[in-house]
Structure formats: C-alpha cells, structure tokens
C-alpha cells in the first residue's frame, strides 16, 4: 500500500451492502494490516509535537446510533473471534487497557468522542497517537464538519 493519502469513498444507495463490503475489506486485509504495523513501526510518522504509533487496527467512526449495528454485523458476517471489535466510547473508555486497544482489529468510536478527546487532552489520547491502517467514516456527510482541521490533517496521514 502506498504510504500516504490512499482513500476511497463507498457511496452506494441504502441497502446495497456497504457495511458488509467494509467488513469484508477489513477481514481480507487483516494479514496485510499486521505487516503494515511491523513495517511502519520502523518508519513512524512524526507530526509537530507528536509521534504516531503504527497499528494494524481499523478505526471506525460512526454515529452512536450505529455502533450496535456495526458490532452485530461483524458478528453475523465473520467467523467467531476472527475479528476483535472494541468500542472507544463512554466515560470508561480511558480505562481500557492499552494492550486491548492495540490487539483490536476494529475500534468503533463516534465523532463526538473524538472531538471531546481532542479538546480535553490536546490530542494525546490513543485515537490521535495512532497511525491507523484504515479509517472508516460511516455517515460522514452527517458529522464530518464537526471535526477540527488538525484532526482532519491527522486522518490524512493515515493510509
């Protein structure tokens, strides 16, 4: 995979299987994502005042109302325990052990959680210190404008 700014948009009509296509993409690129983690660790990206740790994980950003649906669809359409899904949401998220975060294949969060974390900690929490293998933004048209320019710059450094 080329190093930066590799992106695509999946904009099919409702009901045509965007969620399943995305889960399939994550599952079929799992081995490549693990290689990325090890290769990119040697060439970590440095942004001003920040070091990004390479991760095999896909960061999935969606409205709170869709979090359960994403987890259910992953369970329904993959073999049991083939993809580890973790939520970065709610007040207990900061108590999640780092090893759990780094072993997850998919981390589901919301735009509001990211905005809150960025404002509270100056982008020092895990979502902003990680170079994600993939970033998926579900329903981006409904919430993308609430994310700050520094956050957008960060996501642009993720392949």
Domains and CATH numbers, the chain: 18-156 (3.40.50.10810)
Say if strands 46-47 and 50-51 run parallel, antiparallel, or are unpaired.
antiparallel
Residues of the chain short of pLDDT 50, as ranges, are 1-2, 42, 159
pLDDT of residue 72: 96
* pTM for the structure as a whole: 0.78
pLDDT of residue 2: 42
């Amino acid at each position: 995979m080329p190093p930066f700014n590799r992106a695509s948009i999946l904009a099919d009509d409702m009901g045509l299987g965007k969620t399943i296509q995305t889960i399939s993409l994550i599952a079929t690129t799992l081995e490549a994502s693990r290689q990325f983690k090890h290769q990119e660790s040697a060439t970590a990206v440095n942004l001003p005042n920040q070091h990004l740790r390479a991760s095999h994980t896909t960061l999935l950003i969606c409205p709170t109302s869709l979090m359960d649906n994403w987890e259910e669809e992953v369970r329904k359409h993959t073999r049991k325990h083939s993809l580890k899904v973790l939520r970065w949401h709610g007040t207990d998220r900061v108590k999640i052990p780092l090893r759990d975060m780094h072993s997850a294949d998919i981390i589901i969060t919301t735009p509001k959680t990211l905005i809150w974390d960025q404002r509270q900690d100056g982008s020092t929490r895990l979502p902003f210190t990680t170079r994600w293998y993939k970033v998926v933004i579900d329903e981006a048209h409904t919430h993308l404008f609430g994310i700050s320019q520094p956050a957008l710059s960060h996501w642009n450094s993720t392949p």
